[in-house]
Amino acid sequence: MGSIMPVSLAGREIRGQAGNAGSLADLLSLLPPAISTSLDALPVEVKNALEEIRLRRERPLQVRWDAGEGWVQAGGALTSVPDRAYIVSENDLNLTIQALTRSSLYALEEELRSGYITVRGGHRVGLVGEAVVRQGEVQTLKNFSGLNLRLARSVPGCARNLVPYLLEQGRPLNTLILSPPRCGKTTLLRDIIRLFSSGMAELRFSGVTVGVVDERSEIAGCWLGVPQLDVGPQTDVLDRCPKAAGMLMLLRSMGPEVIATDEIGRPEELAVLQDVLNAGVSIVASAHAGSIEELKNRPGWRPLLERGFWQRLIILSRALGPGTIEGLLNGEGHTLRRGPWRGEGGPC
């Protein structure tokens, strides 16, 4: 971690989303006073662009934002020296876990088996510690050693100048977002879903019914079954459901015109895509990959790409910040618009 350096804020705008302060407040309310006060005192440009808050037992407090990462001192100053940062105590970690679980780990055993908890506001908290394993399967976690609080962010409008390319005669096309980690793919996917669901008057597109399989609660950020992030008025969310089973469930029960899901790639998921296509339903999804060639080398992907199953391919990077579009291609691999460019809503 020695490469972490503070980023100079002088002369640089780090764009945050309206309402992020309220979203951050949801997380700060779960943290011990010494930590929440320090985070609340961070420079406003950093605070409005926070992506992750990392608490590790007996180790320094760390944050990541859209333009960098650093260690947090007591009082909210950033430092490049870990030894100068606030050291998270065992009591800090225990108090945070009590707040997250409402003092009932048993009630959240299913979530703990997955390694994360979704909280009010759609934020996701990853947990690590000692795994309790029975018959080769993780049952829960204990003796927690660290937390990663990931802020859920909507960037309304970041997909607006993409949507005209993703429609044909008013019908959404099968669209795949390719992205390395931390390039804004879920945020972009969420806004495509929102716009497909709500419509765009300037395109004379009134919107369609969208079904979302949100296996890890990252797209809609459901809390107690209710989406905490805007996914549009005609969107039905199947939360915490495996993608392959979820796509079939939506087909059978909800009559979607579009099915959307994140980070697709398992063989059983790719196999279900043909069922979706045969039902006349469009697919919008994302996959971890930096290029089409990288994706072709993974099992099951080459036939889908070479047959033109995906009618639109969006390739992301961080060249201009999260959500940078490096290229927009059609199903034959021809470039429709070159990058880098970014949606009008700002960084994803």
Q: Tens of pLDDT along the chain (348 residues)?
A: 333 333 333 322 323 333 343 478 889 999 999 999 999 999 999 998 899 999 999 999 999 998 899 999 999 999 999 999 999 999 999 999 999 887 666 657 777 778 888 888 889 999 999 998 888 888 888 899 999 999 988 889 999 999 999 999 999 999 999 999 889 999 999 999 999 999 999 999 999 999 999 999 999 999 888 999 999 999 999 999 999 999 999 999 999 999 999 999 999 999 999 899 889 999 999 999 989 999 999 999 999 998 889 999 999 998 888 889 999 999 988 999 988 988 765 556
Q: Collapse the DSSP code of 196 into the 3-class scheme (helix H, G, I; strand E, B; otherwise coil) and give the result.
A: helix
Residues in the chain, overall count = 348
The continuous run of DSSP H or E covering 337 comes out as strand 335-341
pTM surpassing 0.85? no
Q: How far apart are CA 166 and CA 170, in angstroms?
A: 9
| pLDDT reported for residue 274 | 86
Residue 206 vs residues 196, 197, 198: alpha-carbon distances, Å: 8, 8, 7
- β-pair type (137-150, 68-72): unpaired
> Sign of the C-alpha dihedral, residues 58, 59, 60, 61?
negative
In whole angstroms, what separates CA 129 from the centre of its chain? 23
Q: Is the peptide bond before 340 cis (omega within 30 degrees of 0)?
A: yes
Structure tokens at 144: 């927690």
| pLDDT reported for residue 154 | 85
| pLDDT reported for residue 109 | 75
CA-based angle 188:191:192, to the nearest 5? 85
Q: How far apart are CA 267 and CA 273, in angstroms?
A: 10
Could you tell me which residues come within 8 angstroms of residue 221 by beta carbon, excluding any fewer than 6 positions away? 118, 121, 122, 123, 124, 152, 227, 228, 229
Count Cβ atoms below 10 Å from residue 162 Cβ, excluding itself. Answer: 22
Q: How far apart are CA 111 and CA 115, in angstroms?
A: 7
